[in-house]
Chain A
Amino acid sequence: MHVIVLFGILLLIFLRIIGLIISFEFLRDLKESKFKILIIGWSVWIIAGLSALLIGIFETEPIVEVFHLINNITTSIAILYVLMGLYSYFQAISRKTIVIFTSLSILVPLVAFLMRMFSDVLNFSSGILFIVVFIYSFLPLRKMEVFKKELSIKSFYWYLIFVFIIYVFIVFYVIFLLQGYTFGFYSDEFSIPMFINYFVGILSNFVMLIYSIHLEYDISKVQKYNLRDKYSHDLGNLVQVIYSAATLTNVDEDLNKEKTENLELIQKKCEEAAKLIKDIKKNQ
């Protein structure tokens, strides 16, 4: 295995571990199912990286082929889950969709492998990968209102950078496959396509991480605002009742001086509370 491949795979594993840790943190704080999808994605992607390293260690043909198969299947599933996890910020992913894509990613390469059509396995995995990447990177554009309402312009720019990089990656990959290179470029000899593959691959993983952090930051900000809005609204209604009740009671002419003073104190404090509530709303 060439040093570029080894270094590239190690760096990719490192980035995926960071992705996994971030998803765990988000799951711990927010307990939303999309983070479970992301956790599966990043975990399987780490396994994909490890299986790629094993390809370089073993030299016996059948074992290498098995690791190739594992690497192909895990890479497809990992990218599928990470992209589905990122897309679920825009729309919930049904269990049916997950099951169909996962089954396809596992069964078809496995059957092809068992039927001794190894080269077809590689092509099929790449094919699935491109379709999945195309679908899930393109779909957020159809949900522009989410970007406008809930996300910041920064997230949108990172999304565009992310899409640009993975499309560049796909174009290069297709060209290289047509030239006869194989999935992973696990060769001992240096080649420009090998370098481009790992450079763009690492870049896309890095951008994907930043994009997911931006998405999460924006969504948690919106949730925080909504919560603040809800509480300031309910508090406003509460103060309105106290304020109005105090004003109405003060209309009574039979009240003694002490009671009148107490009511005036309540009204004064309600005025202060009203100001405070307005300040909270303004700071949103």
Chain B
Amino acid sequence: MATIFLIDDDLSIVTLFEKFLTILGHEIVAKAYNGEEAVKLFHQFRNSPDLILMDHRMPIKDGLTAAKEILRANSRSKIIFFSADYSIKEKALELGAKYFLEKPFQLNKLSNVINKIISEQ
């Protein structure tokens, strides 16, 4: 099972994803509601989480910018983007994201992607 850092500006999505992932046995080590908060929290981690679930369109700092800074701090970070903004898919993958999920998606799909990436470790 994986340690996960969850980032989305929509509180409902964060709450629901947290519940779902906890049921599956994963541990949500931190949550952030914008890109800037995410980068700050990431720098405070003693151990980097196994996975980072990142939204893109967020206030203060967007997901792509935050992901760039996180990957600069630790290039081995595994980021899964989930966004309703499909146009950033290519940029996210070029940046080094492991996967891009287009909202809205089935929770089972998220679970499959997480399992796949964890098994690659």
Contacts and interface: CB of A to CB of B under 8 A. Distances in A.
A251 interface: yes
Nearest to A247: B107
Interface size class of A (residues with CB under 8 A): 20 to 34
A244 B23 CA distance: 13
Interface size class of B (residues with CB under 8 A): 20 to 34
B85 to A, nearest CB: 6
Contacts of B104: 236-237, 239-240, 243, 270, 273-274, 277
Interface stretch (B14-22, B33-41, B45-53): B14-22
Interface in B57-105: 57, 84-87, 102-105
B12 interface: yes
B20 A236 contact: no
Contacts of A248: 16, 19-20, 23, 107
A241 B10 contact: yes
Contact of A232 (B10, B17, B23, B84): B84
Contacts of B121: none
B102 to A, nearest CB: 7
Contacts of A270: 104
Interface in A229-277: 229, 232-237, 239-241, 243-245, 247-248, 251, 267, 270-271, 273-274, 277
Interface of B: 10, 12-13, 16-17, 19-20, 23, 57, 84-87, 102-108
Interface of A: 229, 232-237, 239-241, 243-245, 247-248, 251, 267, 270-271, 273-274, 277-278, 281
5 pairs of A and B residues whose beta carbons are closest in the complex: A236-B84, A239-B104, A240-B104, A244-B16, A233-B84
